[in-house]
Structure 1
Amino acid sequence: MSISLSRRHLIVSTAGLAAAASLPMPAWAKGVSLPHARRGFGELSGEDLHLTIADHHFATGARTGHAIAVNGTVPGPLIRLREGQNVRLHVKNDLREDSSIHWHGLLLPFQFDGVPGVSFPGIKPGETFTYEFPIRQSGTYWWHSHSGLQEQAGHYGPIVIESAEPDPRYDRDYVVVLSEFTPIHPHEIMRKLKVGEDYFNRQMQTATDGDMSGAERRMWGQMRMNPRDIADVSGSTYTYLINGHGLADNLELAFRPGERVRLRFINAGAMTFFNIRIPGVPMTVIAADGMDVAPVSVDEFQIGSAETYDVIVTPPEGSHALVAEAMDRSGMAVASLTSHPGHIATPPPLREIPTLTMVDMGMGAMDHSAHGGGHTMEHSMRDTSRLPDDVEVGPGIDMIAPMPVDRMNFPGLGLDDVPHRVLRYTDLRAARMNPHREIERELEIHLTGNMERYMWSFDGKAFSAVTDDPIRFGFDERVRVKLVNQTMMAHPIHLHGHFFELVNGTDHMHQPLKHTVIVQPGGTATFDLTANEPGDWAFHCHLLYHMHAGMMQVVTVRPFPEGGQS
């Protein structure tokens, strides 16, 4: 077949290339020298605060590359506020692309929530946008970009809101921001995941690894699944950070023996679940996602992307390793909690890599032996007739969980067989009683995906833009929402603008309040929501590349018209 190019086509094509070549290119992409971002953060407080978003250069250990810093630091500044005040946050965008800031976990008017295309247009290059709202809560929260993949590049920071009344429970207070740094541009990471979802996985099993039988290996192979498909991006690519400091930076957090130290853990990681422990030092959990809970003593807890936990520790004299180990155990971030300045704690070695099981496939309540081998199990996991009619079946769904069960009592992959105390959602109990409200409606939402094609969605529908078909709640409606995870990955699901109550087995008056819930692989998680914040709100998986690939939707909260729901 011959191909001819007309003169007109050639001129148009050449003109297009010339136009593309003339598009502005960011300074970092042209090799222009950028200012170096400082590791760690300063602090802003008061009613009028100024933030500037700009391209920077960042380095930790042997890794160095481009970053998006706010006020010159990664993470950006700690914003310290007080319950009952008003705040005006003037955000200037010095990037060559649109940007934004979402105030994660804060209760505010939806037009200041900071999600481009949902609640406001975004902040154009060179422009300043002012967010203004009253502070209606206290606790530990954070902020981050909701534009493209900027959050991965360093565009995030912590928020602490002091309660109106003094808190006598601690003597010293530290914010502990967990995150990752990579010199690879986030859009290149996304491209590689689309080409091959296991591109960054350096921990797959060989033919002789582990204790699986040959039949089990054949079964996994027949089902085209990988028992080590735990993290999409791992320590082969990431340097894990605490307050912007990698393992080589020897971050120290000082204390005096006998002090009660409050540690405010914020998982600002784009893709990483962290397992948190301080070997030899017990922790008392006092808050989850900014909301007080009845104290729970633990030795370790898992924190999903976007979650926050506050703990109190009373470490003995010496230096103690504060360890944030990636869930796939491909790396860790470490700080030294020390009473001897300059003494660096020795971190423990990385633990054995965990592997997925039949329960993570959604086989938890089934008799596996009755399936007669991998072929039958594969069929049951591809049987989309089990899905409700409102789930859109297509290439975006490559598996379903045949028998998903409530996994609220699961502590997190790799932590179910450790000998010490590990936090579970079922341990959480609200410190104050919730108003009692009867459930008016029940809603089921399915977390769906095709891992090989790196397609992610809710109910088989990948989000690409605001549509006329959001998830609708009537204002002040009381709804029980059941999330069903049809995939073999854990998803931290975040609802903007609201707190919901986890249905975790405690009495309904003390169900813990959260804004983000981990839905375990092949499992379910349920929450009760009083939709009392009017407006349009984002609802999404907080694994950044999952959200970017489509696991997002808009929640609309408005009075239903006469006659009921529409």
Structure 2
Amino acid sequence: MITRRNLIRSATMLGGGLLMQGFIPVWAKGGPGYVPGATPRTDSRSGTHDVDLFIAETPVRIDGQHGTAVTLNGGVPGPLLRFTEGETATIRVHNRLRETTSIHWHGILLPFEMDGVPGVAFPGIKAGETFTYRYLVRQSGTYWYHSHSGLQEQLGHYGPLVIDPKEPDIMDHDREHILILSDWMFDNPYKVMAKLKKRSDYLKFQQRTMGDFFKDASETGLGAAISDRMAWGRMRMSPADIADVTGHIYSYLINGAGPDDNWTGLFQPGERLRLRIINAASMSYFNLRIPGLAMTVVAADGQPVQPVEVDEFQIAPAETYDVIVTPKDDRAYTVMAEAMDRSGYARGTLAPRSGMSAAIPALRDQPLRTMADMGMDMDAMPAGHGHGKNHGSMAMGGPIVARHGPSGHGPGSAGVAAVQRSRLGEPGTGLETIDHRVLVYTDLKARTVYNDRPPERELELHLTGNMERYMWSFDGEKFSEVDGPIPFALGERLRLILVNDTMMEHPIHLHGMWMELENGHGGLIPRKHTISVKPGERLSALIHVDAPGRWAFHCHLLYHMEAGMFRVVEVTPYDGEDA
């Protein structure tokens, strides 16, 4: 097990500059290694389909501090793996750790034995052993890979995966940069997890004060302010609960570089840049913008979407977005990825020359939860404040009175949403009153019809949690408590309904199959591998069950998954009768 001593030990045997150069892979440096107009290729056998990855503990320097990371080929992030649609990928993974490890290919369609989830798809890769992943590359787009063993992902075990299409993409560009967002801690994440179980709010220092009470009283009246405080007190919740793990211990990174390291991606004025943006954070949502540059979103979770121009978007852990930007001026632009709870930020720069920088926007005011987040607001939901309209879920419609079992999902659920509603037209926490264009899920429209077959069956799952006990689950049951896997029938068309009974966002990820988000666009609903479900939200997605085997299904907030918000889906042969 990786210990605190290993995490914080000094790397004095290596010079700081040399260490930094070895720590960040060539593809991620973005500056001197780039030739104008060039596309970065993998630094692991450069573009071939035959790759070796070595997983080890390595001394690193992040944001000016020394520590130890779980690295792939010596770097955090790991090497860029770049394949072409139609190739067979052969990836030999050599485990040089003292514990079992694994790699999951996030969003990739493959045989379940190659999916990389220990205990579900295979036993894991034991210390000192090598495992060979081999699969046909059946898709294209921006993806990533990461450990599915313990909390290794939090320790640096992740990297980018880009698949070029067989035919040229219609969204032409002159140059591209990959931006991996992440959250890094020098603390031992296993000890952080243990502390969260004892006191879930120990990292939340952005709580409301007496001054906030008097401010509320002056704006809404003393009685209303007192009633509001009492309501939150009865629920044993705080409206300041935005993130479990915060900037108090996190450093927020772009391509392994902290804000002071200033990762820089080069361009020539007038070039069309494709930015492949991956949120590889363990626990952090980011609100991303580039002041002075409009972004045209052209792909979500690797899948092409009809172009939509925005100024900002919220990206959940595990999601990816491809955007096109065209900087026309000979100046630097700041890439600002603000943590959703405003406790810190990741920052990089787009510039025509290395060494340039632009102004860094100040962190905006801390957002607060609302009664709608608690599923308690009976009023009709307001129109979305983002770029799109509040279309709502095609299957769900407007607000409805919540449906729950007689137990209220048991002790694993501290509360249930009294009102459920679609929130697909909302831009996300902290972006409700932003006056520029913000991406919302109803903006995402596929470029082609993937599957117009109607669903044959509906399955409803509730996202549940008990924050005080730091228990997270589906339908009130932690993974350790469930009787068996969730059955899917091979060949069926399934409508999956997700209901969030908690006051936190949950990025829900299904392995091995696409979820087609029912966002009001008929046959052009978008495919996603990860769907962020807002507090108190009810949404639905269609699934074409075409992948036999056992597949992980879980919240992609790493500590929530470890605490129990994880299930296994088992796809069994379809007998042709109603499931």
Per the TM superposition, whether the score is higher than 0.5 is yes
Deviation at 1:223, TM superposition (A): 1.8
**Matched AA of 2:485:** P
Q: Is 1:331 aligned to 2:344, yes or no?
A: yes
**Closer, same or farther: CA 350–315 of 1 in aligned 2, 3 Å:** same
Q: Is 1:291 aligned to 2:303, yes or no?
A: yes
Count the aligned residue pairs.
Answer: 525
* Map 1:32-43 → 2, pairs under 5 A: 38-42=23-27, 43=42
2: CA distance, partners of 1:88 / 1:331: 39
Q: Is 1:557 aligned to 2:571, yes or no?
A: yes
Q: Which runs of 5+ in 1 are unaligned?
A: 1-22, 369-383
**Closer, same or farther: CA 239–252 of 1 in aligned 2, 3 Å:** same
**Closer, same or farther: CA 386–439 of 1 in aligned 2, 3 Å:** closer
**Matched AA of 1:156:** Y
Correspondent of 2:449 among 430, 433, 445: 433
Deviates more, 1:406-415 or 1:207-216: 207-216
**Matched AA of 2:250:** Y
* 1:247-279 superposed Cα distances (whole Å, 9 cap, x missing partner): 010211110011000000000000000001001
2: CA distance, partners of 1:486 / 1:501: 22
Partner of 1:110: 112
Correspondent of 1:79 among 78, 81, 84: 81
Q: Is 1:201 aligned to 2:201, yes or no?
A: no
**Closer, same or farther: CA 142–41 of 1 in aligned 2, 3 Å:** farther
TM-score by length of 1: 0.89
2: CA distance, partners of 1:65 / 1:29: 5
**Closer, same or farther: CA 113–195 of 1 in aligned 2, 3 Å:** same
1: CA distance, partners of 2:26 / 2:198: 36
Deviation at 1:41, TM superposition (A): 5.0
2:9–2:68 contact (8 Å) kept in structure 1? no
Correspondent of 1:463 among 455, 474, 479: 479
Partner of 1:407: 423
* Map 1:21-60 → 2, pairs under 5 A: 28=6, 38-42=23-27, 43=42, 44=44, 45-60=47-62
Deviation at 1:557, TM superposition (A): 1.1
* 1:178-204 superposed Cα distances (whole Å, 9 cap, x missing partner): 001110111011011111111111111
Deviation at 1:74, TM superposition (A): 0.2
Deviation at 1:520, TM superposition (A): 0.2
1:140–1:289 contact (8 Å) kept in structure 2? yes
Q: Is 1:494 aligned to 2:509, yes or no?
A: yes
Deviation at 1:291, TM superposition (A): 0.2
2:472–2:560 contact (8 Å) kept in structure 1? yes
**Closer, same or farther: CA 562–321 of 1 in aligned 2, 3 Å:** closer
Q: Which runs of 5+ in 2 are unaligned?
A: 28-41, 217-224, 382-400
Correspondent of 2:287 among 268, 272, 275: 275
1:475–1:558 contact (8 Å) kept in structure 2? yes
Deviation at 1:344, TM superposition (A): 1.2
Q: Is 1:477 aligned to 2:492, yes or no?
A: yes
**Matched AA of 2:345:** M
**Closer, same or farther: CA 143–462 of 1 in aligned 2, 3 Å:** same
Deviation at 1:145, TM superposition (A): 0.1
Partner of 2:395: none
2: CA distance, partners of 1:222 / 1:25: 39
1:26–1:96 contact (8 Å) kept in structure 2? no
* 1:212-258 superposed Cα distances (whole Å, 9 cap, x missing partner): 32321222122211101001111111000000000010211110011
2: CA distance, partners of 1:94 / 1:464: 29
1:140–1:159 contact (8 Å) kept in structure 2? yes
2: CA distance, partners of 1:205 / 1:29: 33
Tell me how large the CA RMSD over aligned residues is.
2.2
Deviation at 1:62, TM superposition (A): 3.9
* 1:378-415 superposed Cα distances (whole Å, 9 cap, x missing partner): xxxxxx995225x7733211111111111111110011
Deviation at 1:547, TM superposition (A): 0.2
**Matched AA of 1:99:** T
Q: Is 1:524 aligned to 2:538, yes or no?
A: yes
Partner of 2:241: 229
Q: Is 1:191 aligned to 2:194, yes or no?
A: yes
Correspondent of 1:349 among 359, 362, 372: 362
2:7–2:188 contact (8 Å) kept in structure 1? no
Displacement over 6 Å in runs of 4+: 23-27, 32-35
* Map 1:79-478 → 2, pairs under 5 A: 79-167=81-169, 169-209=172-212, 211-212=215-216, 213-317=225-329, 318-366=331-379, 387-388=404-405, 393-464=409-480, 469-478=484-493
1:39–1:243 contact (8 Å) kept in structure 2? yes
**Matched AA of 1:100:** S
* 1:351-398 superposed Cα distances (whole Å, 9 cap, x missing partner): 000000111011243499xxxxxxxxxxxxxxx995225x77332111
1:328–1:353 contact (8 Å) kept in structure 2? yes
Report the 3-state secondary structure (helix = DSSP H, G, I; strand = E; otherwise coil) of the residue aligned with 1:548: helix
**Closer, same or farther: CA 468–563 of 1 in aligned 2, 3 Å:** farther
Q: Which has the larger radius of gyration?
A: 1
1:60–1:248 contact (8 Å) kept in structure 2? no
Report the 3-state secondary structure (helix = DSSP H, G, I; strand = E; otherwise coil) of the residue aligned with 2:242: coil
**Closer, same or farther: CA 387–249 of 1 in aligned 2, 3 Å:** same
Partner of 1:503: 518
Report the 3-state secondary structure (helix = DSSP H, G, I; strand = E; otherwise coil) of the residue aligned with 1:361: coil
Report the 3-state secondary structure (helix = DSSP H, G, I; strand = E; otherwise coil) of the residue aligned with 2:433: coil
2:402–2:420 contact (8 Å) kept in structure 1? no
**Matched AA of 2:184:** F
**Matched AA of 1:202:** F
TM-score by length of 2: 0.87
2:456–2:578 contact (8 Å) kept in structure 1? no
**Closer, same or farther: CA 385–258 of 1 in aligned 2, 3 Å:** closer
Partner of 1:7: none
Report the 3-state secondary structure (helix = DSSP H, G, I; strand = E; otherwise coil) of the residue aligned with 1:248: coil
2: CA distance, partners of 1:200 / 1:41: 34
Report the 3-state secondary structure (helix = DSSP H, G, I; strand = E; otherwise coil) of the residue aligned with 2:561: helix
Deviation at 1:563, TM superposition (A): 5.9
**Closer, same or farther: CA 41–199 of 1 in aligned 2, 3 Å:** farther
2: CA distance, partners of 1:552 / 1:217: 33
Give % identity.
51
